[in-house]
Structure formats: structure tokens, C-alpha cells
Structure 1
Amino acid sequence: NKTFFTKLKKKPPKQLDYIMQELHEEEFERTDCLECANCCKTTGPLFTNKDVERIAKYFKMKPQQFIDTYLRIDEDNDYVLQSVPCTFLGADNYCSIYDVRPKACAEFPHTDRKKFQQISNLTMKNVAICPAAYNIVEAMKKRINL
């Protein structure tokens, strides 16, 4: 994968975003994230200030109270969960804050992002976590000859 993504970064095909959108949609028509929830079990999202404000409001808390209760600041100075698996993940793999979840969760595994080639390091990590991301990247490798 590393070699493929290095080549992809150097010379991304003109239709890459379109192809990725198509592969993403096809994969998520047949993938039920509730069967896995590996992203929620093994990694935590970054929380933006907007995420903190939105989720705190949902809990009827002040943003600082939400931060103190659920988050910590990591080595990159970002807000992340105090612990993994995600505090908001239920035993049934449902997210208790799904409607107000962090942007990073809503966009995961980021395989339909524009300028996909710019997030190759993130994608390589996500392929190891998310079966859908793995399937999308494998389909992309078959479709794009580099």
C-alpha cells in the first residue's frame, strides 16, 4: 500500500475524487458499521471546538465541563477521549451521541474526501482499522493502474 500511495501522491489521476466517491458509496451500500464498530473500539476521534460546543449543549453541560469529564489534550495539543473504546459506544455498537457526534466520526473512514491523495498516511492507518476502508482501497488499486 505504501508504494501505491507514494505513486498516487506524485501523479493522482484526474478522476480520482470521482472514483473514490463511487467506490465509497458502493462499499457502504453493503457494509453495516454496526457489525464492526472497530473505529470506536480501537481509536478515538479528535474533537474540534465546534464538536465540544455541540456535544456539551446536547448534554446540557458547559463546554469546559464536557472537556473535564470526557476529554484530554494529546501530544499534538488536540482534544481526544480520555479512554478507548469510546465512552459513547454502547454494547450494541450504537453511538449514544450519533446525531451530534464529532466531525471526525461522521467523516470516517475519510475514503470519500476530496483530494484523497493528500491523506494517504491517514488512509493507510484506517485500512488497518476499518474493513470497509480496506475494501475501498483494494478496489481502488484494481481500478487505477499506477
Structure 2
Amino acid sequence: VMLHQRGYAKMFLLFLREEIVGVLSFNQIEPINKTAYIGYWIDESHQGQGLLSQALQALMDAFARSGTVRRFVIKCRVANQRSNQVALRNGFTLEGCLKQAEYLNGSYDDQNIYGRIIDCDTGQFPARG
């Protein structure tokens, strides 16, 4: 709660017909760097419907317009194909791979790191190409 109140983290619940189907969060916000680290989860029965992408785009647009965030970052396990696809489908660029960066289920897994940056001159996302 304290991190949320101070603007260092934000969590948003995703609802569909009054049912919570997912979570979208800024796990960490670096105010000086205007960077937000994004995390997400969506119920398996609602995956592949574009709900997460729609929420992610709306949230990024709102924070970009406010000037609060100019760089968005997603880190996900290399083996998590669905999560990697969410990043790629939403205009993120693979910036690198962090070796053995996430401890999960008794082992250290590699993480891909993706970034999406707002154009400082226009305040908009550069066109995808």
C-alpha cells in the first residue's frame, strides 16, 4: 500500500462482467528515470482474447500522456512463450536476456527483457515497423 501511495508501484485488477480475470501491475516505478516495470497475469480461460493487450495499451497510453512514464519494461522467463508474445504483440523490443535471473520452482531461469520507449519529442509511441 505504501509503495502505491508514494507512486512507486501500481496494481490494477482486470474485470470482465464483474469477475476478476487478471492483474496488470507496475511492479516498480522509477520516478527519476520515468521507467515502469510491468507485470501481468490473466486467468487461463480468458487468455488469447486480447483482454490483457487492450488493458496494457490503455494503461501505457494513460501514463505516457501524463508524462509519468516514458520507458516501459517487461521481464519474463524465456520459457514463458505466452508472456513473451504479449510483449512482442504490444510493440515491445527484445533488449536482452538476463541469465539465471529468476528463481522459480527450485531452479534459476533466464529472463528476456523487453522495452518500449515514448518519443520525447512527440510524447507518443514511435510507429511500429
TM bracket (short chain): under 0.3
Higher share of residues assigned helix: 1
The structure with the larger Rg is: 1
Higher share of residues assigned strand: 2
Q: Using CA pairs below 8 Å that are at least 6 residues apart, which structure has the higher relative contact order?
A: 1
Q: TM-score, normalised by structure 2?
A: 0.27
Q: TM-score, normalised by structure 1?
A: 0.25
